[in-house]
Amino acid sequence: MKLKRKQTHQLQKSRQQMNSSNQELDSTVVGRKHKAMLPFLMQMRLEDASDEYTELTKKVFKGIENLSRLREEDIEIGSTPREVVYREDKLILYRFQPIVEQPLSIPVLIVYALVNRPFMVDLQEDRSLVANLLKLGLDIYLIDWGYPTRADRWLTLDDYINGYINNCVDFIRTKHGLDKINLLGICQGGTFSLCYSAIYPEKVKNLIVMVTPVDFQISDALLYMRGGCTVGAEALDIDLMVNSLGNIPGDFLNFEFLMLKPRQLGIQKYLDFPEIMHSEDKLLNFLRMEKWIFDSPDQAGEAYRQFLKDFYQANKLIKGEVMIGDKQVNLGNVCMPILNLYAEKDHLVPPKSSIALEKYVGTNDYTVLSFPVGHIGMYVSGKVQRDLPPVIANWLNARAD
């Protein structure tokens, strides 16, 4: 009997200790004390987890319903009305329909990069740099480089800059009866625009460059390191790549860009997708962005070879050593007014790379402005869409004479 009473006492004591522990744990969870030290599942009440699961399930079902109704045309990129005004090989020159009675008399030619489609500047109606510039009275042209095929394997930077860009500029000059037009170069297109302006300063009235690489020797930039800018040309054998592949596949470049931020760009956004798919607007934003990201043209082999070797690996642009065909690029010849726009959180084109421009150009009218976003945020951020177009329009209007 004594042994049984002792066992009963010990059992009661153990139960009291367990109850005490449970109460302390419950108090900790409810009071959020030391929450960070507990495993994730122990931080959630059963009813909270049930509510969250129910809410997420509703969002997913609504998202599936949204997806079942969407068609290809619903995620079309580039919604602003435009017309084809010039073609050459695979290049198309568009003119967007002006929406004011008397737009600025000097049109703007947008020169985009080769590595992505140019319609990021006109992603959708409420996120369109082009549409906002039109509303502010600008006359906008845009170069669409098209999709290089094997037939374009031997296209060089000479073809792109002295050929295609120069022909588009001349077409616009003739159409409007002007000696000079305005250039807006974006990313790699900004670098091309700098080269063009240095070679043909007599044809460029004002130059705007946006998220444009100038100095490629930026030691803490991952893309520049992978391109062999700072760790040496042996890091990436460009000749072997081009000789082996011909054109450089767009999917390869896309993968390289995604791997610069693998968690954010390759995993996290898809984990977040169930949370936004119930909203048709957010779903469309997501799908349009995905469509743009993965719509990557191949790169003409010879043009890629020179751009990577001369600009990335040898940093010849700021040294005045780049040759485009038989024409030397001397940034000191860029003597027209310049507006340099860069993104403070840009992981593709670091601010230092863009800011360096001021040291090498020959103009006395130089303006540099930054925006607190990343590379893509310069096109799609709501705040930038509100602030950037007036900056460009006002700057050009002040230099229209």
- Residues carrying an active site annotation: 187
Closest to 209 measured CA to CA, from 23, 303, 334: 334
3-state secondary structure the chain: CHHHHHHHHHHHHHHHHHHHHHHHHHHHHHCCCCHHHCCHHHHCCHHHHHHHHHHHHHHHHHHHHHHHHCCHHHHCCCCCCEEEEEEECCEEEEEECCCCCCCCCCCEEEECCCCCCHHHHEEECCEEHHHHHHHCCCCEEEEECCCCCHHHCCCCHHHHHHHHHHHHHHHHHHHHCCCCEEEEEECHHHHHHHHHHHHCHHHEEEEEEECCCCCCCCCCCHHHHHCCCCCCHHHCCHHHHHHHHCCECHHHHHHHHHCCCHHHHHHHHHHHHHHHCCCHHHHHHHHHHHHHHCCCCCECHHHHHHHHHHHHHCCCCCCCCCEECCEECCHHHCCCCEEEEEECCCCCCCHHHHHHHHHCCCCCCEEEEEECCCCCHHHHCHHHHHHHHHHHHHHHHCCCC
Taking the C-alpha atoms of residue 380 and residue 131, their distance in angstroms, rounded to an integer, is 12
